[in-house]
Amino acid sequence: MRGILIQTLLYGSLTFGIWTALLYVFTNHNHVSNLEKKTQEPASIWSLEKKFHRQDTHGSEEIPRPYVRFESPDEEETKPQKSFFKWSKDFNYSSSEFVDGFLKYGFNTVLSKSLGSEREVPDTRNKKCFQKHYPANLPTASVVVCFHNEEFSALFRTMFSVVNLTPRHFLEEIILVDDMSDSDDLKEKLDHHLEVFRGKIKLIRNKKREGLIRSRMIGASRASGDVLVFLDSHCEVNKVWLEPLLHAIAKDPKMVVCPLIDVIDSVTLEYWPSPVVRGAFNWHLQFKWDNVFSYEMDGPEGPTLPIRSPAMAGGIFAINRHYFREIGQYDKGMNLWGAENLELSLRIWMCGGQLFVLPCSRVGHISKQRFPNQPEFAEAMTYNSLRLAHVWLDEYKEQFFLRRPGLKSVAYGNISERVELRKRLGCKSFQWYLDNVFPELEASEGGR
């Protein structure tokens, strides 16, 4: 059993590597000019070739290698993290602590605990981002982090990285919403440890399990900053991560922005830069990353300009607090999580807002492995997707049901409030969205 699990993990990591390698090859082949290839080296680590041979090839042109501070009693030093394959030999993958942690949290909690609450991560921004300057006067941010049984160190790295890498005057507060965790270390121990942040953190504990969607609304309702920044509870923000987001929203309050999400490997916890991508989805209403058009990256400013994005991944984005309320927050009839990101994306575009990815803002996110023995997640995903389809897709919901015919007669609750909201906001049609924001959806899969 253990052997199989370990194989699955390693296989999962490899699959991910291959996927991103393909994405890299594809984006470069299609969109990245020769000049870009020289300047956009961060993406080059996604080449699987290099991943295998990384130790031999890190020259001055390479991105900074990920650094990890190892906590050991006799050597207080910072040393480069070893690459995955070499490193994996030193790690006991059959220890029950590792296996139990992985099954419960979806990532390497043994390593997470040994990393502790703070570490440095590599600055993965394109060099051209370093020349960008932001006004000293920007809106303030309330960072909202919801969690349910998050691993303690990962949660604390999220908070410490925000506190350490955000200028004080921009950070109104961090709002932590505990969605009925039952882990012991998230009770009194958490209260106790939060004291180091001296009141910058508000902790809200839900009285019953609300799910991510309603938890975020609870967090937002207690926020007082100008901008809401939603973060997953297993993130590490990068340098100058917040300023680009605040600046974009200051210029246009109806602009909703996402950082580029870097990958923190679920097994090694290494921090890897992501290539510049935009958010998209297919007719199954499954979110996916999509290539960015060359004209958006090939100009003199390189891959530093806002990238128009048909959808957001959902875990991490920033939105003007009043605008969030004005456009109807989330569909509170949705459960747990899933599809709420697409519902919000469509609502933003169709009701007069805009959604962009800002490549100069980087936030690392542990890409957790999920195990299929959690039917309640699949159920919520289906239910939420149905609500989305019935409120927002107009006649195109047939495209969804064509692919998922079993769902045509499945109940989706009462959506009259959301239909009413759409009318009240005077939103455009899904046809308009297809024509103006995401023509590739129809073009790419129309025949299938």
Ligand X SMILES: *[C@@H]1O[C@H](CO)[C@@H](O)[C@H](O)[C@H]1NC(C)=O
Contact pattern for Mn ion over residues 312 through 341, marking x by CB under 5 A: ---x--------------------------
Under DSSP, the state recorded for 275 is P
Q: Which is nearer to ligand X, 110 or 305 (CB)?
A: 110
- Closest to Mn ion by CB, 66 or 315: 315
Nearer to ligand X, 95 or 221 (CB): 95
Three-state SS for 114-154 is HHCCCCCCCCCCCHHHHHCCCCCCCCCEEEEEEECCCCHHH
The rounded distance, in Å, linking the Cα atoms of 233 and 215 is: 13
Burial label for 353, CB within 10 Å (0-12, 13-18, 19+), is buried
228 CB neighbour count, 10 Å cutoff: 25
CB 228 within 8 A of CB 220: yes
Q: Give the chain's radius of gyration (CA, Å).
A: 22
Q: Is 8 in the site for ligand X (CB under 6 A)?
A: no
Q: How far is the CB of 2 from ligand X (least distance, A)?
A: 9
Distance CA 425, CA 326 (A): 9
Q: How far is the CB of 180 from ligand X (least distance, A)?
A: 26
CA-CA distance, 57 to 43, in Å (whole number)?
A: 15
- 94 contributes a contact to ligand X by CB under 6 A: yes
Among Mn ion, ligand X, none, what does residue 232 contact (CB within 5–8 Å per kind)?
Answer: Mn ion
CB 67 within 8 A of CB 80: yes
Q: Which stretch binds Mn ion (CB under 5 A): 200-208, 230-238, 287-295, 374-382?
A: 230-238
Number of shown-chain residues binding ligand X (CB under 6 A): 7
Of 65-73, 165-173, 342-350, 410-418: span binding ligand X (CB under 6 A): 410-418
Of 150, 172, 226, 232, which one interacts with Mn ion (CB under 5 A)? Answer: 232
Q: What, of ligand X, Mn ion, none, does residue 92 touch, CB below 5 to 8 Å by kind?
A: ligand X
Is residue 96 a contact point for ligand X (CB under 6 A)? yes
Contact 66, 81 (CB under 8 A): yes
Q: Shortest gap between Cβ of 91 and ligand X (angstroms)?
A: 9
55 makes contact with ligand X (CB under 6 A) = no
Alpha helix stretches (DSSP H) within 292-374: 321-326, 340-350
Q: Is 78 in the site for ligand X (CB under 6 A)?
A: no
- Give yes or no for residue 92 binding ligand X (CB under 6 A): yes
Distance CA 422, CA 327 (A): 9
Q: Which is nearer to ligand X, 92 or 374 (CB)?
A: 92
Where does this chain touch ligand X (CB under 6 A) — which range of 19-27, 31-39, 89-97, 402-410?
A: 89-97
Beta-strand pair 227-231/141-147: parallel
Element (DSSP H or E) covering residue 178: strand 171-178
| Length, in residues, of the chain | 448
Near ligand X in 414-433, by CB under 6 A = 414, 416-417
Nearest distance in Å: CB 285, ligand X: 23
Backbone angles phi, psi at 278, to 5 degrees: -125, 165
Rounded to the nearest whole angstrom, what is the least distance from the CB of residue 79 to Mn ion in the complex?
A: 28
Segment contacting ligand X (CB under 6 A): 208-216, 242-250, 257-265, 411-419?
A: 411-419
Q: Which residues bind Mn ion (CB under 5 A)?
A: 232, 315
